[in-house]
Structure 1
């Protein structure tokens, strides 16, 4: 996993001396400005918040998060540094307003409610293979998944605190986590100790994994965090500091009994050495109907332009079982929430059926993350963010993939292949994936440009402070208020103005505030051409229209950005927009069926500008046989520009547009 930059003791002392409004966050945390989040999140210092009773803090209403860690450590004899580091890996010390994580973990210590069943897998109408010449609409099975270890109720037994209070109250939750660590220490046969080096075995047991590699990887990352130190402001305005202990070297006991080591192939999985990773191959066999599943194989190296981030809409166990079903679909890696463990299913040369667009599938690697786009406002753990970022950084280096949002994309950024398929394209990982933090862990922060005269903007709201309204998370209709990486786009500079129209997603209706509706949203890290500024509002060009988002000078949700733009050549407007960059008809050799160049229902009018992501020569990979030697790659002469046209990337022919420098797009 990626390590945080070192934090010196002197700097940490300075943090403690600062007022809350100026507290820095060396890890690039959610409140980079040091501002406290809005009061509608769980308030700091004991003030009751949404879902909390006035008596929710049984240990003193003025106790800070830092003091809560200190007292829990003393109560249960756990070194404070160990308790803080374990909590940071699970939650970054956030309370998440009492909402569960994607793996049913609650509070700063991620106490897992084992009685919470997995959500139903949402597949929708998208064909994951994304090749209408050989459709593959899978039947979505619902494999039973074993319930997770119920650490919430074990903590209740150890502390005498009711499970409901452990879920919603951060102070009680921290007490429960400390009690669990002390219990693990006893179970490993170790005596209580003030020396953090002697707690390695207890730390390895904390995430509840049965895999020895995952357990040791989690513990290694915890101790790496202690060595570097961390300081940040939490989602509910609490300042927490873990001072660095640079020379700490833990005692690594033998692997605890009951933990298993997964077998690996002779070559081993393709993961960086700092993460826990196993080889769990996807099914590949002929089916009775003459088709085959559940992926394509390719001889030789494959060009990789994209790494696609998914959430699996199910538990880790259920997701990984699906890859072994030859009638289903496939992706390259699955990541577990509680400890960041990774399972690899396909080699880099294999083509997964995951993105719903055959062109993108043939040029991408897909990562499925345990979890749900919007199940009760679920959140992703720091352990999973870190292992995912370490894996993506490794793959990006290996395949030469640039670390930006034109190449590291969500499934919700993949375009439909035809006008008919646009409506059914997937929406994961959705607005609650923290793209800004993810790119900080990748070592490529989304900082934009220092030039205030830039003609592009990078969407960059403060994740914790940005809490837009969403509907559709639960039966009640409204989603819980929480940090998000998206901004809403309006037809005029006003909150009362309708959302912008997406004729592909809603041919006859209006865009909605649904958490699964991407039609009128821009996401963190996406770059758009600046169209206009008016007061506290900024307009960008989006789906052929001017789209406005709230961007006040005192709390910017965008930053200036550098980069080239494209605009229609004289006489070429409106320009056709495509969902894939396929070759011209004359490029197809005998025996390879020509793929029709079908433009999407959108158009690119004169006078508008869109950001240029990359330029590539048209290609099409013809597959359809179990024998990979029968694959054919068709290369055309047509060149395409990838542009950020809406929430999704799209393609235009290079001959139809001109590229202009971002400083002067006229």
Structure 2
């Protein structure tokens, strides 16, 4: 990369943040009711003989002390103590790839995976009943009443403790067992995170406005030797690509031929990354299936694949495809060939919240991968599956929308340790970063359980865009998602008129406390309080150019293909970049196509690299690509 472009690419990743309206988002107000939840923890700790700091630490690792209005987590957990009731939550609803081909490669016939197997949930996903009995209350109360949930969680934790002790460090084994993990590494990871939280302390306001404090106590020393008393299976870390301090097991995806045809193999492609092509993206998914189902599917060579799966209840990680190989996960072959896919056990809409244990394990893994492969920690390179473009117009409506509007990107990036830079002065800086206050950003989505039915009220990381500076004005139009002209909706999966925390856009207009951004060729309006100023570079058509084509993949020119490799068509999207519009630059995208062939040796699949240059841009909810020769690169200011 030329030096000037290297500087540009680096600059584009800097989110130099200043509250857009001049002040940071306000936390929910706290009155005398705020201390009631703290008192509930203290009372439950005293009632069942659990050190209060241990109870608070366990609860924080499960839920961040939130209630989520009584809705279950992605692992069927209820309330601040994440007590599980899989049967009531009814989370078994198929899988992420039931109706699509994660390869995103139109040079091969589509996959048609078999229906997912039906599994009986393990005992770790049925703790509500046991905890309710121990606490002398009902399962319904445990699921819906935070105080009873905390009592039941304390009772269950106490039942795991062999000898009662007021010394917090003596509760290490009980904490590890509470995780529900069956292997020693995952149980230890969970317990270690709990005790690190106790040592460092935490203070936050919950989703229902209650201030909770866990005072730091660096003197607490966990008795880690107790872990052996649980007689858990040994974690098989054989050859995994994971950081130290994160429990990972290798569970290889099926790579096998299942038919006579040249494309009858699965379920990933061998390669030799990063020597053959750089890894530039990490894609965040959710499984839309439980853990056991997910692990069965990765063993089916007729199914698709991903690199890692993370378990909700304890943050355990399984690796399936080594980073050097290309997994079939993003529905876009260009992105697949340059990315690592991480699945998170859960459902983007039906249940709705992700455990802190999962967030922390995922952040550890992504930090490690980003450092190893020099991937910037920004939303141009850490993508949700919902940010990956469809390869061509007909594929856009079927592209996936996970991890969804309830994935907490702000908290996730805090855990990633993404850099924060000095605040910017006021305008004329011409771009912004989306950053609503998730706790209070209750967007009226529909379709979480049934089409048209309102979703439960809960905080969202996404902001809805309007065609005018008014909450009653129509949504924007996405001709890719709705090619027949039907209007956008508030369905939880209809992403054509919304933006997500951390995404960056060029400012198009301002009126009062409203701001407009360039989005899908239109001005998208939202409340200015939901963004902060940022600096970087934008892409605009070259002077005198009326419009520029946009692409869902950055394939090379035909002359770059060697003999024997069929050139892939460079097909524009139904979108264009119009004169006068600007979109935030996300980096230089190499013109690259990875041919595919059954190759157990991993030596035949070498990418075709062209002389063309593309730029990644944030065009709508998803990233897209433009030919660098068609546009000019400008500082946002």
Fold similarity call, TM over 0.5? yes
- What is the Cα deviation at residue 550 of structure 1? 2.2
Post-superposition shift, 1:141? 2.4
Conserved 8 A contact 2:68-2:458: yes
1:384 aligns with 2:358: yes
Aligned to 2:544: 571
Q: How far, CA to CA, are the matches of 2:394 and 2:421 in structure 1? A: 37
Whole-Å Cα distance in 2 between the matches of residues 547 and 357 of structure 1? 26
| Secondary structure of the structure 2 residue equivalent to 1:600 | strand
| SS of residue paired to 2:175 | helix
> How big is the shift at 1:429?
0.5
Asked if the contact 2:74–2:91 (Cα under 8 Å) also holds between the matched residues in 1, the reply is no
Match of 1:85 in 2: 57
Tell me: CA distance 1:521–1:246, structure 2 relative to 1, closer, same or farther (3 Å): same
Q: How many angstroms does 1:261 deviate by? A: 1.7
Q: How big is the shift at 1:417?
A: 0.6
Is 1:536 the equivalent of 2:510?
no
Do structure 1's residue 159 and structure 2's residue 135 form an aligned pair?
Answer: yes
More RCO (CA 8 Å, sep 6+) = 2
Shift of 1:254: 4.2
1:584 to 533, 539, 557: 557
Task: Determine the C-alpha separation between the residues in 2 that align with 1:489 and 1:254.
Answer: 51
Any conservation in 1 of the 2:235–2:247 contact (CA below 8 Å)? no
CA contact (8 A) 1:79 1:195 kept: yes
Q: What is the deviation of 1:568?
A: 0.2
1:288 equivalent in alignment to 2:259: yes
Distance in 2 of aligned mates of 1:448 and 1:526: 19
1:501–1:76 Cα change, 3 Å: same
Hey, what's the Cα distance between the residues in 2 that align with 1:507 and 1:451? 41
Matched-pair contact (CA < 8 Å) for 1:436–1:446: no
What is the Cα deviation at residue 289 of structure 1?
A: 4.2
Query: What does residue 525 of structure 1 align with?
Result: 502
Per-residue CA deviations over 1:426-478 (Å, capped at 9, x if unaligned) read 00001100000000000016779523211001110001011111000123711
Distance in 1 (CA, whole Å) between partners of 2:128 and 2:287 is 24
2:412 maps to which residue? Answer: 438
**1:210 positional shift:** 1.4
Task: Establish whether residue 269 from structure 1 lines up as the match of residue 240 from structure 2.
Answer: yes
Residues 34 and 576 from structure 1, CA distance in 2 versus in 1: closer, same or farther, beyond 3 angstroms? closer
Q: Structure 1 stretch 441-450 or stretch 631-640: which is displaced more? A: 441-450
Structure 1 segment 434-583 matched on structure 2, within 5 A: 434-444=408-418, 449-453=423-427, 454-475=429-450, 477-508=453-484, 509-551=486-528, 556-583=529-556
Do residues 408 (structure 1) and 382 (structure 2) align?
yes
Q: State the distance in 2 between where 1:541 and 1:63 align.
A: 44
Distance 1:477 1:352 in 2: 35
What's the CA shift for 1:115? Answer: 2.2
Change (3 A) 1:163 1:44: farther
Match of 2:116 in 1: 142
Cα 1:140/1:497, change in 2 over 3 Å = farther
Determine the structure 1 residue equivalent to 2:312: 337
1:176-191 map, 5 Å: 176-185=152-161, 190-191=162-163
Contact 2:98 / 2:115 at 8 angstroms: preserved in 1?
A: no
Whether the 8 Å CA contact 2:176–2:227 is kept in 1: the answer is no
Instruction: Give the match's secondary structure for 1:264.
Output: coil
> Please, which runs of 5 or more residues in structure 2 have no aligned partner?
1-22
Q: 1:608 to 1:114 in 2, by over 3 A?
A: closer
Moved more, 346-355 or 471-480: 471-480
Residue number among 621, 624, 631 corresponding to 2:605 in the alignment: 631
The question of whether the paired residues in 1 share the 8 Å contact of 2:99 and 2:112 is answered with no
Aligned partners of 1:202, 1:272: CA distance in 2, in Å?
25
Match of 1:113 among 70, 79, 85: 85
CA contact (8 A) 1:304 1:365 kept: yes
- Whether the 8 Å contact between 2:35 and 2:212 is mirrored in structure 1 is no
Is residue 2:7 matched to residue 1:36?
Answer: no
Provide Cα deviations, 1:388-447, integer angstroms capped at 9, x if missing partner: 001000000000000000000000000011111111100000110000000000001677
1:131-171 per-position Cα deviation (integer Å, ceiling 9, x unaligned): 10013323242123331322111111101111111111111
Q: What are the Cα deviations for residues 542-572 of structure 1, in whole angstroms up to 9, with x where unaligned? A: 0111111122xxxx10000111001000233
CA distance in 1 between counterparts of 2:189 and 2:230 reads 17
SS in 1 for 2:573: coil
Counterparts of 1:318 and 1:32 in 2: how far apart (Å)? 42
Contact 2:134-2:152 within 8 A present in 1 as well: yes
Give the gaps of 5 or more residues in structure 1: 1-30, 38-42, 47-61
Aligned to 1:643, the other structure's residue is in SS state strand
Kept in 1, the 8 Å contact 2:200–2:218? The answer is yes
Matches within 5 A, 1:294-373: 294-299=267-272, 301=274, 302-373=277-348
Aligned length: 602
CA contact (8 A) 2:363 2:415 kept: yes
Q: Is 1:619 aligned to residue 592 of structure 2?
A: yes
CA distance in 2, matches of 1:412, 1:281: 26
Q: Give the alignment partner of residue 599 of structure 1, picking from 569, 572, 580.
A: 572
How far apart, CA to CA, are the structure 2 residues paired with 1:642 and 1:652?
A: 7
Secondary structure of 1:365 counterpart = strand
For residue 199 of structure 2, the aligned residue among 224, 227, 231 is 227
Query: 1:437 & 1:236 partners in 2: Cα distance?
Result: 17
Shift of 1:574: 0.6
Deviates more, 1:116-125 or 1:388-397: 116-125
Please name the residue that 2:6 is paired with: none
Change (3 A) 1:32 1:545: closer
CA RMSD in angstroms, aligned pairs only: 1.8
Distance 1:92 1:558, change over 3 A: same
C-alpha separation between the residues in 2 aligned to 1:77 and 1:151?
A: 20
Q: Is this contact kept in 1: 2:170–2:222, CA < 8 A? A: yes
Q: Is the contact made by 1:292 and 1:626 (CA closer than 8 Å) also made in structure 2?
A: no
Instruction: After TM superposition, give the deviation of residue 114 of structure 1 in Å.
Output: 3.7
Q: Is the 8 A contact 1:295 1:350 kept in 2?
A: yes
Name the CA shift for 1:33/1:644 in 2 (closer, same or farther; >3 Å). closer
Moved beyond 4 Å, runs of 4+: 31-34, 43-46, 445-449
Is 2:566 aligned against 1:609?
A: no
Contact 1:447 1:559 (C-alpha < 8 Å) held by counterparts: no
Separation in 1 of the partners of 2:576 and 2:508?
Answer: 17
Residue 119 of structure 1 and its aligned partner are, at CA, apart by 2.5
Answer yes or no: is the 8 Å Cα contact 1:436–1:445 preserved in 2.
no
Once the two structures are TM-superposed, the CA of residue 370 in structure 1 deviates from its matched residue by 0.4
TM-score normalised by L of structure 2? 0.92
